[in-house]
Amino acid sequence: MTAGHYQNRDFEDRVNDRSRDTQLRFFVVGDFGSGDDVQARVAGAMAHVAAREPPNFVLGTGDSVYPLVAGGTSNPTPSAAILRERFDPYYERLGIEFFQCLGNEDLVEVFAGDATLMFDHSWNSATWRMPAAHYRVPKLPPWIAIHIADTNVFGHDGTIAEPAFFSESVMACEIEALTETFAGRPGLKILVGHHPIFTAGKRTLRYHGDGELLYMRHLRRAIEDCGVHFYLSGHEHHQSHITGPRCEHITQGCGGARKAPNPKHPRREDGWHDAEKVLCHLEVAAGFAIIEVNSTHQIRLQFIGVGAGEPDQAIRVIYERTWDGLDSIGDARLQRASC
Ligand SMILES: [Fe+2]
């Protein structure tokens, strides 16, 4: 299969039509399938906010289902029931589509390396949408493009995202597909993948020690080549915003997964920067993000923190940024990938 044939026409028929909308609101949430109290509270907060300010859809940043560990329960054999019992009940009440991407916990640990059941669930769920490992979100208005990538297959210079899945040819196919989605697009370009490119979280001092996950270097170059404006990821269990040369990097990994900071892996402080990136905000707080954008590319980003208690008291905006037009995105004084 070539990248030119990756889009599934049946899937386009499956999703809601937003092609004439002049503004969109969507939630971003990731690392949200632990099945514990935190997932339930974040899901409840999403429903509470959605009742007042309905989103058009949700973008999931991966790790949608975690292995069962509570009480020493072993993982069941992969089956269609896993998503039906451990994903849908939390989110069906929102009544909207979740465009999902592959993580490592769901793909490797829960579904034993075979994503077929996750793809198939797109046809059986009222909310779950993931027709393939990579895909373009269909039926969007012409002023925005959103592409979902499989970042498990990326690697560079001896570092690999997920060893069972890395290959040069599959990685090239991922880059070809996202390039096809974004080529010649004049509007807002949003890419979603599980693994971050820049991180100020527990992985920030690994690899180069400079806050870049080196195995994502090819995706970083593709983002720069394609002019992607926002890269949305998960994997790190925090909410963060890092600005790059022309792209805003948003990590949302606090949808219900284990989130206690590990003192053995220090994080960076807000304001940390080098020649290539600036950490605008990092917080370990259960929650999700809201992005609102209109056809003239006025954009508002909010991070929502979810505590214990009744929703009205528990939900708070912990971070907010706005952009007025595509030219205001990124910081052109920062350097692109050097090699
Ligand atoms: Fe992950």
Token pair for 85: 């019992």
Residues 116-166: tens digit of each pLDDT: 999 999 999 999 999 999 999 999 999 999 999 999 999 999 999 999 999
Task: Give CA–CA dist 139/121, Å, rounded.
Answer: 20
Contact 139, 125 (CB under 8 A): no
Instruction: Determine the average pLDDT of the residues in 180-209.
Output: 92
What spacing in Å lies between the alpha carbon of 234 and ligand 1's midpoint?
7
Residue-by-residue DSSP string for 76-139 = PPP-THHHHHHTHHHHGGG-SEEE----HIIIIIISTT--HHHHHGGGT-SSEE--SSSEEPPS
Q: How far is the CA of 327 from the centre of ligand 1 (A)?
A: 32
Q: At residue 326, does pLDDT exceed 90?
A: yes
For range 240-254, the mean pLDDT: 97
CA 141 to ligand 1 center in whole angstroms: 31
Question: For the residues 5-10, what does the mean pLDDT come to?
Answer: 66
Q: In this structure, what DSSP letter does residue 20 have?
A: T
Distance CA 251, CA 28 (A): 9
Q: How far does the centroid of ligand 1 lie from the alpha carbon of residue 242, in Å?
A: 19
Lowest-confidence segment of 80-94, 228-242, 262-276, 321-335 by average pLDDT: 262-276
Question: pLDDT tens for residues 88-100?
Answer: 999 999 999 999 9
- To the nearest whole percent, how much of the chain has pLDDT over 70? 94
Ligand 1 geometric centre to CA of 257 (Å): 10
pTM for this prediction: 0.95
Q: By three-state DSSP, how is residue 175 classified?
A: helix
Domains assigned to the chain: 3-328 (3.60.21.10)
CA distances from 11 to 17, 112, 133 (A): 12, 25, 13
Tell me the average pLDDT across 221-244.
97
| Per-residue model confidence (pLDDT) at position 1 | 40
Q: Residue 4 above 50 pLDDT? A: no
pLDDT score for 77: 86
Rounded distance from Cα 250 to ligand 1 centre (Å): 15
Amino acid 74: pLDDT: 57
Cβ neighbour number for residue 1 with a 10 Å cutoff: 7
| Per-chain mean pLDDT for the chain | 92
Q: How would residue 327 be classed by pLDDT, with cut points 50, 70 and 90?
A: very high
Tell whether the model's pLDDT for residue 79 goes beyond 60. yes
State how far the Cα of 109 lies from the Cα of 66, in Å rounded to an integer: 7
